[in-house]
Homo-oligomer: A and B are copies of this chain.
Amino acid sequence: MRPLRQLGELALLDWIRKRAGGEKGAGGKNLLVGIGDDAAAFRLTPGKAALATSDMMVEGVHFDTRYYTPYQLGFKIVSVNASDIYAMGGVPRLALFTLAAPPETETGFIKKIFEGVLAALGLYGARLAGGDLSASHSGLVLDMTVIGEADGVIKRSGARVGDGVFVTGPLGDSACGLALLKEMAEPVAVEKGASARDKLKRLSRKWRSSLQWETVKPLVVRHLMPVAKRPPGRVLTAMLDISDGLLLDVSRLCKESGVGVRIYEDKIPVSGPMRRAAETLGLDPLALAKTGGEDYELLYTAPQGQKRKNMGKNKGGILIGEVIPAGRYMVDAAGKMKRFKAQGYEHFGK
C-alpha cells in the first residue's frame, strides 16, 4: 500500500537490481555490467549478427488496467519484443526496460510488472540489463528494448515468387480474447490460475449455454500473456510476426519483397475455442483471424518444393497461400478470388 513517491526511485532500483540477478546466473555470463551503471555492457557471440528492437505499451492505447494484471503487462511487453527477435531468425539475449508511472502508483503494482518482465525474460533465456524509471503525469508507459543475436538474419524482403506463405498457428485468438475481456471488464489472473473462474461467472451468466472456461481461457491468455513463437528449423526466405493483423502484416511482407500474394481463406487457421467464442459474441471468426492484431504468430515464406502437394501442417508451419508476382488476393472457399487491402491496426487511427 506504499506509493512510489514514498519508496523512491533508488530503493525501487535496488529491489529490481537484486531481482534481476546482476552479472551472475544463467544467461549472465556475457553480461559485463548489468543494472546500476550508465549503460549495460555485454559481449555477443563473435560472428553472429546483433539484433535490437523496441516496443512501447501505453495505458489507454495498448492496454487497459481493467483487463490486465501488472504481471501480465510485464510479461506481454517482453513477448512482444521477443517475437520481433524470433521474426528476424534470432534469439533474445538481453533487455532494457523503461517504465514511466504516476508517483502515486502503488509500489506493489510496479514490482509485479517487473516480476512479469523477469518471468518472461527467463522463458526466452534473456537477461534484464538496464533501463530507465520515470514519473508520468497520467497512466503507465512501458517501453522495452530487446537485444538478440542470429546466425543468419531473415528479413521481410526475401520472399520469392512461388514460395509458400505459412503461419505458425491460429489467428484471431488474441482479438477474440480482448472482446471477451471487454465484456468481463476486470483482470483475469490467468497466471495464478486462481479466482479466474469466479470472474468468468459474470460473463457466463450472459452466455451460460455456450461459453465454458475451457473455451475462454486460451483466448484471454493469448491476449494477456502471449508467448512469442520460435520459427521452424527450415530454410525461410522472409519472415515477420503478426502483430497488427494478417492482412496488414502480409501486405508489409509483400511491399518489402516487391511481390504479391494469394491467400486461401479456408487455409487460415482458426482455433475451435475462437470460433465458438466469436460466434457466441456475434463476431465473424474469419474477420478476427484476418484483421485481429496481437497474435504474435510468425508469418513466413519458404520454398515449397515437394511439400506443395501437402497443404496443411508443414514442420510447425501452416501453409495459407503462395507468393505471386503482384497483387494481393484472397481466394474464398468457393474458389472466387478477390483483391484485398492492408487492413489492421493503425496506431494514429487513420
Contact = CB atoms under 8 A, between A and B. Distances in A.
Interface magnitude class on chain A: 35 or more
Nearest to A61: B135
Contact of A54 (B9, B36, B96, B256): B96
Interface string A131-147: 11111111101010111
Given A52-B96, A58-B100, A39 B90 contact: yes
Contacts of A153: 32-33, 41
A49 B61 contact: no
Contact of A143 (B4, B37, B41, B56): B56
A135 B349 contact: yes
Contact of A6 (B87, B136, B350): B350
A98 interface: yes
A322 interface: no
Contact of A40 (B38, B53, B103, B137): B53
A284 interface: no
A349 B58 contact: no
Nearest to A147: B52
Complex copy number for this chain = 2
A88 interface: yes
Nearest to A52: B40
B4 A348 contact: yes
Given A96-B145, A135-B348, A50 B53 contact: no
A309 interface: no
Contacts of A28: none
B50 A43 contact: yes
Contacts of A326: none
B143 A54 contact: yes
A33 B53 CA distance: 11
10 A-B pairs closest in CB distance = A39-B53, A8-B350, A38-B87, A38-B84, A145-B145, A143-B143, A54-B96, A39-B51, A41-B153, A4-B348
11 contacts: A38-B85, A39-B51, A43-B50, A44-B50, A50-B50, A55-B132, A56-B141, A58-B134, A61-B136, A133-B347, A145-B145
Interface of A: 4-10, 12, 32-33, 36-44, 46, 49-56, 58-62, 83-85, 87-88, 90, 94, 96-98, 100, 103, 129-139, 141, 143, 145-148, 150, 153, 155-157, 239-241, 256, 346-350
Given A40-B51, A42-B50, A134-B347, 6 more contacts: A38-B88, A40-B53, A44-B50, A50-B50, A56-B132, A143-B143
